Chains A and B, each alone.
Chain A
Amino acid sequence: MSKRKDFYSVDHRSDKASDRQDENKIRETLNQEFDLPDVVDRAKSDAFERIRAQAETGKKIRNY
């Protein structure tokens, strides 16, 4: 009986510890900081320029 209890508690703890480790690694990897890829950075800068232009001139930034 005591053996069975030990088996479950140890198994449960190791599963939980392993899950927590995985979870931390997932969070860490997905939250890493890096520079935006060039194509994305250019697109962002283009949007920023249009917004600055609108703020200065009051002209609409997009035609629909």
Chain B
Amino acid sequence: MKHLVQRAIKGDADAFLELMEQNSLSMYKVARAILANDEDAADAIQDTILTCFEKLNTLKKPEYFKTWMIRILINECNKILRHYRHIKMPEFMPEQSIGDSSMAEIEFKQMLELVDEKYRVVLILYYVYGFKLQDISELLDINENTVKTRLVRARNQLGELYFGHSQNEKCHTARKKEGMIL
């Protein structure tokens, strides 16, 4: 990937497009986690690709490409959320039918939907991108302990709602974990 980034920075559009192709699914996962619908995720991803292309010359170190790109994507998602707040829409657009979706996509969406909105993006950045807690804290501009708490709570919600662990069964462990980090 580093080689592709270097070529892209030098102005190789094909290398840039290859980079975006390689990252498109994980970008979608982040956008979906923040925006909760595919139409807005599509807008965010399109704007992110165009913005990355326009600002590629501002990227100083190729090794920071992934973080740089995700920061742009999160900004684009936040712009869309601000837009909705500005026009005071009560809800997001209704989701299209999932008739054409693969089982993998359905499972992915179902798992995300079981978790509170504010915990979703932390899950994706941690489990899909493999970012460290400190990186996530910087990307989302929140305290590192808040990242830890959100991750623990997301896991607990999935434990209960996805894996079917009873509240009592996990309660002791959850309290212990949260107590350590709050």
Contact = CB atoms under 8 A, between A and B. Distances in A.
Interface of A: 15, 18-19, 22-23, 25-27, 29-40, 42-44, 46-48, 50-52, 54-55, 61-62
A51 B12 CA distance: 11
Interface stretch (B45-53, B62-70, B84-92, B137-145): B45-53
Given A18-B165, A22-B159, A42 B123 contact: no
B100 A46 contact: no
Per DSSP, chain B at the interface is helix
Contact of B16 (A15, A23, A31, A51): A51
A43 B43 contact: yes
Given A22-B159, A23-B155, A30-B111, A61 B53 contact: yes
- Using C-beta atoms within 8 Å of the partner chain, give the interface range for chain B: 35 or more
B82 to A, nearest CB: 17
Given A22-B155, A32-B107, 15 more contacts: A22-B165, A26-B127, A27-B127, A30-B108, A32-B105, A32-B108, A34-B108, A35-B102, A38-B100, A40-B45, A44-B45, A47-B49, A48-B20, A51-B53, A54-B53
A27 B165 CA distance: 18
Contacts, number: 101
Contact of A33 (B38, B104, B111, B123): B104
Nearest to A38: B100
Interface in B147-181: 155, 158-159, 163, 165, 173
Contacts of A25: 163
Main secondary structure of the interface of A (DSSP, over half): helix
Contacts of B163: 22, 25
Contacts of A48: 17, 20, 49
